Amino acid sequence: MTEGPLIVQSDKTLLLDVDHPLSQECRHEIAPFAELERAPEHIHTYRITPLGLWNARAAGHDAEQVIDSLLKYSRYSVPHALLIDIADTMGRYGRLKLLKHPAHGLVLESTDRAVLEEVLRAKKIIPLVGKRIDEDTVVVHPSERGQIKQILLKLGWPAEDLAGYVDGQSHPIELVQEDWELRAYQREAAENFASGGSGVVVLPCGAGKTIVGAAAMAMTKATTLILVTNTVSVHQWRRELLKRTTLTEDEIGEYSGAKKEIKPVTIATYQVLTTRKKGVYAHLDLFDEHDWGLIMYDEVHLLPAPIFRFTADIQSKRRLGLTATLVREDGREGDVFSLIGPKRYDAPWKDIEAQGYIAPADCVEVRVTLPEHERIVYATAEREERYRLAATTKMKEKIVQALVKEHANDHILVIGQYLDQLDSLSESLGAPLINGSTPVKERERLYEAFRTGEVPCLVVSKVANFSIDLPEANVAIQVSGSFGSRQEEAQRLGRILRPKSDGRGARFYTVVSRDTVDAEFAAHRQRFLAEQGYAYRIIDADDVLSPKAE
DSSP 437: T
Q: Are residues 429 and 414 in contact, defined by beta-carbon separation less than 8 angstroms?
A: yes
3-class secondary-structure state, position 550: coil
Q: Which of 144, 117, 118, 141 is nearest to 131 (CA)?
A: 141
Asked if pLDDT for residue 330 goes beyond 70, the answer is no
Predicted confidence at residue 427, as pLDDT, reads: 96
3-class secondary-structure state, position 235: helix
* 496 phi/psi in degrees, rounded to 5: -115, 10
Asked if pLDDT for residue 540 goes beyond 80, the answer is yes
Distance from the Cα of residue 130 to its chain's centroid: 36
Asked if pLDDT for residue 37 goes beyond 80, the answer is no
What CA–CA distance (Å, rounded) separates 493 from 146? 33
Antiparallel, parallel or unpaired: β 34-38 and 43-48: antiparallel
3-class secondary-structure state, position 306: helix
CA distances from 82 to 45, 174, 544 (A): 17, 47, 50
Antiparallel, parallel or unpaired: β 343-346 and 361-368: unpaired
What CA–CA distance (Å, rounded) separates 504 from 362? 11
Across the range 341-356, mean pLDDT stands at 83
Asked if pLDDT for residue 41 goes beyond 90, the answer is no
Across the range 156-167, mean pLDDT stands at 90
What CA–CA distance (Å, rounded) separates 274 from 286? 11
Q: Are residues 229 and 298 in contact, defined by beta-carbon separation less than 8 angstroms?
A: yes
Q: Are residues 459 and 425 in contact, defined by beta-carbon separation less than 8 angstroms?
A: yes
The pLDDT-based confidence of 155 (bands split at 50, 70, 90) is very high
Rg of the chain over all Cα atoms, to the nearest angstrom = 25
Asked if pLDDT for residue 1 goes beyond 70, the answer is no
Q: How far apart are the first and last CA of the chain?
A: 49
DSSP 318: E
The pLDDT-based confidence of 332 (bands split at 50, 70, 90) is low
For residue 333, the one-letter residue type is E
Q: Are residues 140 and 107 in contact, defined by beta-carbon separation less than 8 angstroms?
A: yes
Percentage helix, strand, coil, to 5, in the chain?
A: 40, 20, 35
CA distances from 53 to 8, 90, 189, 496 (A): 15, 6, 19, 33
Distance from the Cα of residue 512 to its chain's centroid: 25
Predicted confidence at residue 242, as pLDDT, reads: 96
Any idea how long the chain is?
550
Predicted confidence at residue 238, as pLDDT, reads: 95
Asked if pLDDT for residue 313 goes beyond 60, the answer is yes
Task: For residue range 179-238, list pLDDT tens digits in order.
Answer: 889 999 999 999 999 988 889 998 887 888 999 999 999 999 999 999 998 888 899 899
Predicted confidence at residue 550, as pLDDT, reads: 44
Q: Which of 430, 427, 458, 421 is nearest to 442 (CA)?
A: 458
Predicted confidence at residue 413, as pLDDT, reads: 92
Asked if pLDDT for residue 58 goes beyond 90, the answer is no
DSSP 4: P
- What residues form DSSP beta bridges with 245? 175
What CA–CA distance (Å, rounded) separates 273 from 283? 5
What CA–CA distance (Å, rounded) separates 165 from 376? 61
Give the relative orientation of helices 23-30 and 63-73 as an angle to the nearest 10 degrees: 160
Across the range 324-338, mean pLDDT stands at 70
Element (H, E) at 210: helix 209-220
Architecture of domain 184-353: 3-Layer(aba) Sandwich (3.40)
3-class secondary-structure state, position 112: coil
For residue 301, the one-letter residue type is H
The most confident of the ranges 107-121, 202-216, 380-394 is 107-121
DSSP 366-381: EEE---HHHHHHHHHS
Q: Are residues 524 and 442 in contact, defined by beta-carbon separation less than 8 angstroms?
A: no
What CA–CA distance (Å, rounded) separates 58 from 443? 41
Residue 368 burial (CB count, 10 A): 23
What CA–CA distance (Å, rounded) separates 401 from 391? 16
What is the CATH code for 359-545?
Answer: 3.40.50.300
Element (H, E) at 444: helix 440-452
